[in-house]
A and B are shown apart, each in its own frame.
Chain A
Amino acid sequence: MTTKTTSARLAAGPRKGPRRRPSASSATQVGRPGFAWALPAAVFFALFAIVPLIMVAVLSFMSWDGLSSPEFVGTDNWSRLMDDPVMFQSIWLTLLLTVLGVVIQTPLSILLGVWAAGHQRNRAVLSVIYFIPLLLSATAVSVLWRALLDPNFGIPAEATWLFGDGNLFGEQATAIGVLAFVSTWQFTPFHTLIYQGAARAIPHVLYQAAEIDGAGRYRQFFHITLPQLRNAMITSMILMIVGGLTTFETVLILTQGGPGTDTTISAYYMYDKAFKSFDYGTGSAIALALVVAATIISLIVVRVSGYDKMRSTMEGSS
C-alpha cells in the first residue's frame, strides 16, 4: 500500500511537485473572497441537516413517544433491534433491492446511453421520450404502477398468460420483482443520461485510431467505450446504491411493506417504527444505521471521483 502510493507520487512528481499549501502572501489573496461568502449557506445547512444528524444519534439512545419528553434509556433500542428478526430481514431486503437495482440498471443504461450518444435525429427524439419517467415524482410513478398492476383492473388481469392469477403484490418474490422493475423504469433514464454525457465526451481520435487498426464495433465498445466510461460508471453506481438504500415512497405506496413484512426495507421499517408505532427511539436507531451506510458510501464517492480536488469540469473533455 505504502510503496504504491509513493511510486504513484513519484510518477506524478515532475508535473506538479508535492502539493503545496496555498501561500498566505497577499499576492494570491487579492480579489479572492473569504469564507464569509460560504457562511450563510453553511449555517443554514448545518441547522437543518447536520444538527438533526447529530440528534438522530442522541435520540437512538432515548425513548420517545412523540408526546412526552424524550428519556435516556441507554442501549435499549439497540439491543431490542439486535433481537428483531424484522430488522435483519429489512437490511437483507434493502441490500437485495440495491444490488438488483445496480445489476439490472447498469448494463441497460450503459447500452442505452452509448446508443443515445450517437447523432442521428431519431435518437434525439427517442431520448426525449426516455426522459419522461424522470420527471415524474416517485409518488406519481408508484401510484401509476400500483394502478397499472392492479390485480383486478390492471395489466395483469389482461395478460393472464404472463402473470398467472395476477396478484403480483401477494407474494414476496413477485412483490420484490415489482419494486425492482418500477425503480428500473424510473431511474434507468437518469443513468442513461449520465452515460450519454460521458460517451459524448470520449475523444473521436480514439475511435479513428481503432478503425485504422481494424478494430470492429464490438472491440471498440469493449476496449475504448467501456474503459472511457469508468468515471461515469462509478458515479452512476454510487448514486444507484445511495438511491437503493433510501428507497421509500415506492415501498410505502406499492406494497406497504407487505405481504406481511416481506418487503419491509430499512427505510420503511424506520418510518413504520417511528411514525406508525410512535417508537421514535428505535426509529432513530434504524435511521442512524442508514446514515452510517450512506456516509461510508459518500466518502468513497469523494475519494474515488476526485470531486474534492476542485477540478474544472472542462478538463479532459478536449
Chain B
Amino acid sequence: MRRRPHYLAGAGSLLWLFVVGLPLYVLLAATLRTRQDYAENGPVSIPDSFTLDNYTGAFASGFDQYFFNTLVVTACVIGIVLLLVPPLAYAIVRSRGRTTSAIFRLFLLGLAIPAQAVIVPMFYLISEAGLYDNLLGVILPTAAFCLPMSALILSGAMRDISPELYEAMAMDGATPRRMFFQLVLPLSRGGLSTIVVFSALQAWNGFLFPLVLTQSDSSKVVTLGLYNFQTEHGIDIPGLLGAVVLSMVPILLVYLFARRALVQGLMGVGGK
C-alpha cells in the first residue's frame, strides 16, 4: 500500500530462491543429459548433451507398475477419506453430545501419533489379516492416518457455515441428513477439495507403510521404487533423478489444478 521496497528483505529472498532453485535446476538438467556428460562436467554445468533415456530407463526398470500401484493406493485412500470424514466433521461441528466431543478429542490426539509408533503392531495385524504384500494392507493404514488432519481441515471449513442457515432449515423441519446433503456438503466444497488434495499427497508420498508392509515388485509403490533404484543403481545419477522427476509429475499436475485448495488447506494448519 505504501513505502519503498525493503532491499535487505529482497536480497534475502533472492538468496533463498538460489537455495531452492539451484537443486531444482540441477535435478531437471541432469535428467535431460547423458550419464557421461553429467559425470564429466559435474551437476551444476550447462548440459552439452540431450537425451530422454533417463525417463525411458526408469520405465524399463518397472516404474510403470509402481505408478499403477501408487495410483490405486491414492484413489482408494481418497475414496475412504471422502466417505468417512464429511459425516465426522459434520458431527464435530454440529453435534452437541459428549460422545462426539470425546471422538473429536480422540482424533486430535491422533494428530500426533507418528506412523513409526505403530508400524510394528501394524505389521503384525496386517500379516495376521493375510494382507501382507497386498495393496489393501497399505491402503487401510494410510487412509486411517489421513483422517485426523482431514477432520481438522474439514471441520474448520464447516464451522464457517453461518448458523442462520441451519436455523432456517430447522424451521422448515429439515432432518440432520437433509441438512448434511443440501447445506453442509455443497457449502464445504472448498474444504472437501483441500482434504482430497491433502490425502492424495499423503498417499502418493507414503513410504513407511509400503516399505514394511509390501515386498514383491508387483505391489511396490513409486516411493519404494525410488528407494530401491537408489540402493541398486546409485551411480547412475541422471537415471535416478529421472525417476525422481517422474515421481513428482502427478503431484505437480494436481498442484497446477488445485493450487488454491492446497495452499489454503496448508495455511489453515496455522490456525487463525
- Residue interface mask B62-90, A partner, CB < 8 A = 1: 00000000000000000010011101101
Q: How far is the CB of B173 from chain A (nearest CB, A)?
A: 8
Asked if A194 is at the interface of the complex by the 8 Å CB criterion, the answer is: yes
Closest 9 CB pairs of A and B: A298-B112, A197-B267, A137-B205, A48-B144, A55-B121, A194-B270, A52-B118, A37-B91, A246-B114
Asked if B186 is at the interface of the complex by the 8 Å CB criterion, the answer is: no
Q: What residues of chain B have their CB less than 8 Å away from a CB belonging to chain A? A: 1-3, 6, 9, 12-13, 16-17, 19-21, 23-24, 26-27, 30, 38-39, 42-44, 80, 83-85, 87-88, 90-97, 99-101, 103-125, 140-141, 143-145, 147-148, 151-152, 155-156, 159-160, 166, 169-170, 174-176, 179-180, 201, 204-205, 207-208, 212, 223, 226-227, 229-230, 234-235, 237, 240-241, 244, 247-248, 251-252, 255, 263, 266-272
**A27 nearest in chain B by CB position:** B170
Task: Known contacts A35-B103, A115-B9; decide if A313 and B120 are in contact (CB<8 Å).
Answer: no
Asked if A98 is at the interface of the complex by the 8 Å CB criterion, the answer is: no
Asked if A61 is at the interface of the complex by the 8 Å CB criterion, the answer is: no
Q: Could you list 11 further interchain pairs (A-B, Cβ under 8 angstroms) beyond the known A137-B223, A189-B20?
A: A33-B176, A115-B9, A134-B266, A139-B207, A154-B237, A158-B44, A193-B263, A193-B267, A204-B1, A231-B271, A291-B114
Interface residues of A in 249-284 (CB under 8 A from B): 249, 252-253, 267, 270-271, 274-275, 280, 283-284
Interface of B is mostly: helix
B151 pairs with A41, CB closer than 8 A: yes
Q: Which residues in B have their C-beta under 8 angstroms from that of A29?
A: 96
Q: How far is the CB of A77 from chain B (nearest CB, A)?
A: 12
A280 pairs with B120, CB closer than 8 A: yes
Task: Known contacts A32-B176, A193-B266, A253-B230; decide if A302 and B116 are in contact (CB<8 Å).
Answer: no
Asked if A50 is at the interface of the complex by the 8 Å CB criterion, the answer is: yes
Segment among A6-14, A83-91, A142-150 that sits at the interface with chain B: A142-150
B121 pairs with A30, CB closer than 8 A: no
Expressed in whole angstroms, the Cα–Cα distance for A190 and B198 within the complex equals: 13
B99 pairs with A235, CB closer than 8 A: no
**B109 nearest in chain A by CB position:** A298
Q: Which residues in B have their C-beta under 8 angstroms from that of A211?
A: 2
B12 pairs with A111, CB closer than 8 A: yes
Interface residues of A in 296-312 (CB under 8 A from B): 297-299, 301-302, 305-308, 310-312
**B3 nearest in chain A by CB position:** A217
Q: Which residues in B have their C-beta under 8 angstroms from that of A249?
A: 207-208
A308 pairs with B117, CB closer than 8 A: no
Expressed in whole angstroms, the Cα–Cα distance for A231 and B104 within the complex equals: 21
Asked if A45 is at the interface of the complex by the 8 Å CB criterion, the answer is: yes
Q: Which residues in A have their C-beta under 8 angstroms from that of B19?
A: 185
B272 pairs with A38, CB closer than 8 A: no
A143 pairs with B244, CB closer than 8 A: yes
- Residue interface mask A183-217, B partner, CB < 8 A = 1: 00100111001111110010010000001000001
Q: Which of B20, B116, B121, B234 has the most CB of A within 10 A?
A: B116
Expressed in whole angstroms, the Cα–Cα distance for A64 and B6 within the complex equals: 61
A48 pairs with B140, CB closer than 8 A: yes
Asked if A112 is at the interface of the complex by the 8 Å CB criterion, the answer is: yes
**B40 nearest in chain A by CB position:** A153
B95 pairs with A32, CB closer than 8 A: yes
Q: Which residues in A have their C-beta under 8 angstroms from that of B152?
A: 307
Complex partner residue of B95 from A33, A271, A298, A312, CB under 8 angstroms: A33
Q: Which residues in B have their C-beta under 8 angstroms from that of A73?
A: none
Expressed in whole angstroms, the Cα–Cα distance for A42 and B204 within the complex equals: 24
Task: Known contacts A189-B20, A305-B271; decide if A42 and B103 are in contact (CB<8 Å).
Answer: yes
A31 pairs with B267, CB closer than 8 A: no
Expressed in whole angstroms, the Cα–Cα distance for A121 and B50 within the complex equals: 34
A248 pairs with B91, CB closer than 8 A: no
Q: Which residues in A have their C-beta under 8 angstroms from that of B110?
A: 45, 49-50
Q: Which residues in B have their C-beta under 8 angstroms from that of A316?
A: 272
Asked if A1 is at the interface of the complex by the 8 Å CB criterion, the answer is: no
Asked if A75 is at the interface of the complex by the 8 Å CB criterion, the answer is: no
**B263 nearest in chain A by CB position:** A193
B270 pairs with A302, CB closer than 8 A: no
Expressed in whole angstroms, the Cα–Cα distance for A56 and B108 within the complex equals: 20
Expressed in whole angstroms, the Cα–Cα distance for A154 and B45 within the complex equals: 11
Task: Known contacts A55-B125, A158-B42; decide if A198 and B84 are in contact (CB<8 Å).
Answer: no
Selected A-B contacts with CB under 8 Å, 9 pairs? A31-B174, A44-B80, A47-B144, A143-B226, A144-B27, A155-B44, A185-B19, A287-B120, A314-B159
Task: Known contacts A53-B117, A140-B226; decide if A236 and B13 are in contact (CB<8 Å).
Answer: no
Expressed in whole angstroms, the Cα–Cα distance for A195 and B96 within the complex equals: 33
Complex partner residue of B121 from A33, A35, A52, A232, CB under 8 angstroms: A52
Task: Known contacts A42-B106, A313-B159; decide if A131 and B116 are in contact (CB<8 Å).
Answer: no
Complex partner residue of B116 from A59, A190, A290, A298, CB under 8 angstroms: A290
Q: Which residues in B have their C-beta under 8 angstroms from that of A284?
A: 120-121
